[in-house]
């Protein structure tokens, strides 16, 4: 297997492992396993790339997106997260860990989407809420308050904006670095 293929496989599988650890642990009321898994995954990724500064910027931007997307959902009561802190008015740490984990897939596992932002809109708008549904139904890591359409609508809209924004930022950072 070529080194690029190994890196891609590690990136995609690593992100999925982090998702499962975070969601299953949150369903049991624990935030720290997801945070720890994401920290290890993100650090391993950062150790393996040449443009660490750009990757750190993407992680910071993704964390900001997570604070807004999941912070609004939580503060409005549209989504109730298990293992939440701060009285449930902010995005829980395990959710932010998932956003950080997602960020390090933007230049590897999701690189092909950087030039297809419309696919990022679709993937974010459909896949984002479906991931929350899986977390809610499979492991009770979250719960949609009734009427559930409010939470669904917010997540679909926010993710349809957030993912292409992150992909666009990844592409811009790569182009900026290439120019130097």
**Residue pLDDT, tens place only, 108-153:** 999 999 999 999 999 999 999 999 999 999 999 999 999 999 999 9
Angle among Cα 175, 126, 7 to the nearest 5 degrees reads 45
Q: Residue 180 has what pLDDT? A: 55
pLDDT per residue as tens digits for the range 34-82: 999 999 999 999 999 988 999 999 999 999 999 999 999 999 999 999 9
**pLDDT over 70 at 179, yes or no:** no
**pLDDT over 90 at 16, yes or no:** yes
How many residues are present in the chain? 180
**pLDDT over 70 at 178, yes or no:** no
């Amino acid at each position: 297997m070529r080194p690029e293929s190994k890196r891609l496989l590690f990136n995609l599988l690593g992100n999925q492992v982090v998702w499962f650890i975070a969601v299953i642990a949150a369903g049991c009321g624990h935030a720290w396993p997801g945070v720890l898994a994401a920290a290890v995954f993100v650090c391993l990724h950062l150790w393996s790339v040449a443009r660490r500064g750009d990757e750190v910027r993407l992680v910071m931007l993704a964390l900001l997106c997570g604070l807004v997307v999941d912070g609004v959902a939580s503060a409005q009561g549209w989504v109730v997260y298990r293992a939440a802190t701060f009285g449930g008015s902010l995005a829980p740490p395990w959710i932010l860990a998932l956003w950080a984990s997602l960020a390090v897939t933007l230049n590897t596992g999701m690189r092909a989407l950087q030039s297809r932002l419309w696919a990022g809109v679709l993937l974010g708008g459909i896949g984002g809420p479906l991931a929350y549904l899986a977390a809610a139904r499979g492991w009770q890591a979250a719960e949609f308050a009734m009427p559930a359409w409010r939470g669904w609508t917010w997540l679909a809209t926010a993710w349809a904006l957030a993912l292409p924004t992150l992909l666009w930022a990844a592409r811009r950072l790569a182009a900026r670095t290439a120019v130097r």
